[in-house]
Structure 1
């Protein structure tokens, strides 16, 4: 049984518009909505960066689907605050929210003016954060004196069930590590060989966790337009995972993105003009073991994409 999702991209669109997109997705038969949690966008051009946690309260009130959010619980936040936010939302909305926890990116986390640490340090902090959140959701009083400090913290509004925490991974090394503590994995549409390595690394240590994939796509009336629109909206996101984790301001991404060619986009974004492209993608990723397949249309054609999926794709892939 697979679930097909729509991704609400806060770095691109206003929160108000994304509420209408989520409503439209529900009416068109999508099963879930995912959301990005950014402080800064990827570009300064036509950008937004609304507060995803405020948005979730509004969106989950008017849309009755499952929701997921990709977030880093520290250091921009404290994991106790994220635990409280998730507990409140899941108490209000019957445990419909899961989180995908990642180690963060400088563009969001470095606003605290702390030194941006190396990947191993960030991973250690992430694991401690998830452990703290799970204890708080269980109703425990929690103290911590590691990379995360906490004193006598206890949640008095608990979720109706323990929230699901999956790991956000872009490499097989990270996937292997996350398999030891996460209840699942979310990644993006890498090249097939890379994606198979990520899945294999996770499955080697975690046989039952959910596998989710966010497919970055560009939907338009012909391929050349789809490619051009992808380049205009998303070229700063194909610079490589290490660069994306280390650059700290949108203007730096804009400077680096000018060297990306239009022709480069087809390696990173699924270019589509018709339903067959998306039906084939769903079958492909389902065969690889993914049970949550989430589409992120990176260009501005949100309404036409959602309507096409509801009319020509979703009825045929259940």
Structure 2
């Protein structure tokens, strides 16, 4: 059975409003939620970036379903702090929290003033960080002066009774193939020409196990023109793809790079339609391949989307599931 969840976009919505939105999503019939984790938004038009780890405590306390988050350990977050924060959430809310670890993006990580590493080094740092986080979750006392990450007498005193699974956030087949060696599941996002299927295949072919999850960027409104307008206004800066999306430093850089992005390019990255049945069809096809789908309406006003999908889309998907 596929889980149909709601995506909480911290780049677009103030944390107080997003807390209301995730509660509303649960009431409307969404079965789970996931959260982004940004220091900066993709675009000045989005204009938000609440601290995810603070928000998650409130969101899990105010809901009853599972909520996961992405996280990039190694630069902005030292792996020991990621281990402590995620262990605390998992201890407080047993079996209701998951984390997907990724290699990060310069827009979020440059604030430490540390060097932004080349891609291969970032992936190696992620793998090293994931191993350290898992060892700390297992109750090891770690001192380590080697590699990308150093620790001195690191130990997590409050840990959940059940081990917290560490998933991988993957965009490309190459990152998914590497993640298969350490991850206990993976999440990717919808991409032009169905490239997310290639990412999933690479993970499975490399021996990757555990749940496969997909974050779906979509835009819905009363008319197609309105839905397209929302997508272009809010998500044009998000369709640039690697290496730009990994290496650009600020929202202004993204806005400049997105200046020539066409409506056609946005429509390749965002599923745009005014018809709930069309969205249900697209989502149902994705549900044939992924264990959980997290729907992200790329607009800043979420209530109309939550209501419409709760009434007209989710019932279709649950019946098919």
Task: Write out per-residue CA displacement over residues 206-241 of structure 1, whole angstroms, 9 at most, x where no aligned residue.
Answer: 253211111000111111221111000110001122
Whole-Å Cα distance in 1 between the matches of residues 142 and 115 of structure 2? 26
Question: What TM-score, normalized by structure 1, do the two folds share?
Answer: 0.97
| Separation in 1, partners of 2:55, 2:26 | 16
Q: Encode CA deviations 1:74-126: one digit per residue, 9 max, x unaligned.
A: 21010110110011111111131111111000000011111111011001110
Q: Is the CA contact 1:143–1:153 (under 8 Å) kept in the aligned structure 2?
A: yes
Match of 1:120 in 2: 120
Query: After superposition, where does 1:102-141 map in structure 2 within 5 Å?
Result: 102-141=102-141
Residue in structure 2 matched with residue 299 of structure 1 by the alignment: 299
Query: Which ranges of 4 or more aligned residues in structure 1 deviate by more than 3 Å?
Result: none
1:16 aligns with 2:11: no
Once residues 72 and 208 of structure 2 are traced to their aligned partners in structure 1, the CA distance between those partners, rounded to angstroms, is: 25
Question: Cα offset for 1:193?
Answer: 4.5
Structure 1 gap segments, 5+ residues each? none
Q: CA deviation at 1:173?
A: 0.9
Which residue is 1:89 aligned to? 89
Equivalents in 2 of 1:219, 1:275: separation in Å? Answer: 8
**Structure 2: gaps spanning 5 or more residues:** none
User: CA–CA distance in 2 between the matches of 1:181 and 1:198?
Assistant: 16
- Equivalent residue for 1:285? 286
The alignment of Structure 1 onto Structure 2 pairs a total of residues equal to 317
Q: CA contact under 8 A between 2:193 and 2:268: conserved in structure 1?
A: no
2:218 corresponds to 1:198: no
Contact 2:5 2:292 in 1 (8 A): yes
Q: Partners in 2 of 1:167 and 1:203 — Cα distance?
A: 13
CA distance in 1, matches of 2:280, 2:87: 36
1:250: how far off?
1.0
RMSD over aligned Cα atoms: 1.2
Q: Which residue is equivalent to 2:214?
A: 213
Partner of 2:162: 161
SS at match of 1:196: helix
Q: Aligned partners of 1:195 and 1:300: how far apart in 2?
A: 25
Contact 1:143 1:152 in 2 (8 A): yes
Local SS of the residue matching 1:258:
helix
Does the alignment pair 1:245 with 2:246? yes
Q: TM-score, normalised by structure 2?
A: 0.96
Q: Deviations over 1:269-298 (max 9, x none)?
A: 0012122122212221122x2011011110
